[in-house]
Amino acid sequence: MLQLLKMSFRDLGRNRRRTFFSALAVSVGLAILMLMSSVINGEMGSAIEGAIILETGHIQVRAASYDQNKSSLKWEDLVLNPDQIGSQISALPQVKAATPRLFASGFVSAGNQSAGARIVGIDPASAANDPYRLGIISGSYLTADDSGGLLIGKPIAEKLGLKAGDKVGLSVNTANGDVAEQTFIIRGIYSTNTSSFDSATIFLPLAKAQTITQTQNHASTVFVMLKNTSDTASVASALRGSNLKVLTWQDLNPLILEFETTANSYIGILYMIILAIAASVIINTLIMSVYERTREIGILSSIGMRGGRIMSLFLTESALLAVGGVLMGVVLGVLGILLFNINGFYIGKMGLTGFMVADTIFAKLTLNNTINLSIVTFIVTILAGLYPAVMASRLQPVEALRAEK
């Protein structure tokens, strides 16, 4: 084996420029794979994390007849005594916060301009609502007893030319099918850096939201945040058994999970294309090496080197190219991801509808992906050297010696 390594090093060193660019092709291919994989992981991770934190929580407890697409405010479609249910759920050790939320549809108006919005009644003190509290960029946060204030997202404020302290009209659907109108003061403007959410969501204190929609002591859902996402299934199982419906974040985000599965399938095809290009370079390099060394192969065969050993020699050269390419590829990939993450990739309002993807996507590199992609690249490179190796091993000594004359 040591002799094969020495001979392989010597043979690869004969044309160092070609050897370098062959290894570089492998490394660039791996670096691109790492960057693509990290960006997809970052985007999907951002979508799932954003959906859980901003929209669905890890678990929601609802009335069995509630339809989230209609935002029904009928009492039979709502959760009765949601504060009591939330307190009981909060007692579980895996639970970070459990808080009632009330959803209603309406629109906000300022002067001659208006914008449709989803009104969300929240308990401002709950830790589940910290993303909105920490996202205040102007003005102040809500308090539970505030009966005349609301929070609006930055996109709505920009669209209507509003600032903290301005008065706006809010029209909201009620439980009996009427529309209630009231003037509110903008207490604060928030930004979660997720335009698809901020451009459509207005927050009221839960008590005020229940009053204006005539849904006293009812809520659309009990929003549950866990300490660890991995506990979702066990906590959901513990909560089931009542007449209420228990939904996990997987149940509430089917589109994201389906898109992730589809995206991974298409990305897998792109991976194969990139690896095939890199493999073609290796095949070309080793075939050229076979033609250049035809006489040498004939000599080795004539002095007793078997075809299997000649084949091993070329596979060793392929392995050395693979090792060098993978090592350089990991370095280039890490550097590329670090450069990408300096500013990220801003998508703003270009994000997919229904996805809680942050306005700026960052790549997320994982050790598992790095190892898996490196192994796949190494195997593909070895396989690329198989055909030239077989071709070299089948050369007949007499024909090989005669070919160089």
**Measuring CA to CA, which residue among 226, 243, 244 is closest to residue 235?**
226
**pLDDT score, position 301:** 65
How many helices (H) and strands (E) the chain has is answered by: 15, 14
Instruction: Assess if residue 248 is contained within a domain.
Output: no
Has residue 16 been placed in a domain?
yes
394 within domain boundaries: yes
CB-count burial class (<10 Å; 0-12, 13-18, 19+) for 1: exposed
Closest CA to 27 of 336, 365, 344: 336
Same domain, 133 and 188: yes
Q: Are residues 159 and 288 in the same domain?
A: no
pLDDT band at 383 (very low <50, low <70, confident <90, very high): confident
Q: 46 or 139: which carries more pLDDT confidence? A: 139
Instruction: Decide: helix, strand or coil at residue 244.
Output: strand
Find, among 196, 204, 109, the residue nearest to 161 by Cα: 109
Lowest model confidence (mean pLDDT) among 245-249, 273-277, 346-350? 346-350
How many folded domains does the chain comprise? 2
Question: Are residues 298 and 208 part of one domain?
Answer: no
Based on the domain organization, do 113 and 235 belong to the same domain?
yes
Q: Is the pLDDT of residue 145 over 80?
A: yes
- Residue that is last in its domain, among 207, 242, 277: 242
Shared domain check, 393 and 313: yes
- Which percentage of the chain shows pLDDT scores above 70? 88
* Residue at a domain's end among 181, 215, 242: 242
Where are the extended beta strands (E) located within 191-228? 201-205, 218-219, 221-226
Q: Encode pLDDT of 197-207 as tens digits.
A: 898 899 999 99
Check residue 400 and give its pLDDT: 47
How far is the CA of 5 from the CAs of 26, 152, 318, 392, in angstroms?
20, 68, 11, 17
Contact indicator for 104, 209 with CB cutoff of 8 Å: yes
Q: What is the mean pLDDT of residues 343-368?
A: 74
> Is 104 in the same domain as 231?
yes
Which residue segment(s) compose the domain that 296 sits in?
A: 2-51+256-403
* The pair of three-digit structure tokens given for residue 275, joined into one six-digit string: 């690896």
User: Would you state the structure tokens that stand for residue 190, as one six-digit string?
Assistant: 């928030």
Please check whether residue 57 lies inside any domain of the structure.
no
Q: How far apart are CA 363 and CA 36, in angstroms?
A: 8
Task: Give the model's pLDDT for residue 405.
Answer: 45
- 238 and 260 housed in the same domain: no
Render pLDDT for 62-75 as a digit per residue (tens, 0 to 9): 998 888 777 788 88
In this structure, the chain runs to a length of 405
Is 128 a member of any domain?
A: yes
Return the residue matching tokens 């895996």: 94
pLDDT digits 0-9 by tens, 286-321: 777 766 666 666 666 666 667 677 777 778 888 888
How far apart, in whole angstroms, are the C-alpha atoms of residue 34 and residue 373?
7
Give CB contacts under 8 A, 24+ apart, made by 13-16: 14/292, 15/289
Does residue 250 lie within any of the structural domains?
no
Position 187, amino acid: R
Coil, helix or strand for 152? strand
% of residues, the chain, pLDDT over 90: 44
Among 242, 277, 305, identify where a domain stops: 242
Does residue 83 sit in the same domain as residue 8? no
CA distance 163 to 52: 29
Indicate whether 107 and 143 sit together in one domain: yes
Using the predicted structure, report yes or no on whether residue 98 has a pLDDT greater than 90.
yes
CA angle, residues 84, 227, 57, in degrees to nearest 5: 65
Q: What is the DSSP pairing of strand 149-153 with strand 95-110?
A: unpaired
In a domain, 215, yes or no: yes
What whole-number distance in Å separates Cα of residue 266 and Cα of residue 117?
35
Residue 109 lies in a domain: yes
Whether 145 and 186 map to the same domain: the answer is: yes
Same-domain check for residues 204 and 266: no
Q: Among 13-27, 82-96, 294-308, 314-328, which stretch is predicted with the lowest mean pLDDT?
A: 294-308
Report yes or no: 127 and 97 within 8 Å, Cβ to Cβ. Answer: yes
The two structure tokens encoding residue 232:
């979702």
Task: Give the pLDDT confidence score for residue 49 in this predicted structure.
Answer: 87
- Specify whether 238 is located in the same domain as 261: no
Q: Is the pLDDT of residue 85 over 90?
A: yes
**What pLDDT is attached to residue 260?**
76
**Mean pLDDT, residues 383-393:** 77
**pLDDT, tens only, 110-142:** 888 888 889 999 999 999 999 999 999 999 999
Distance, in Å, from the CA atom of 215 to the CA atom of 104, rounded to the nearest integer, reads 11
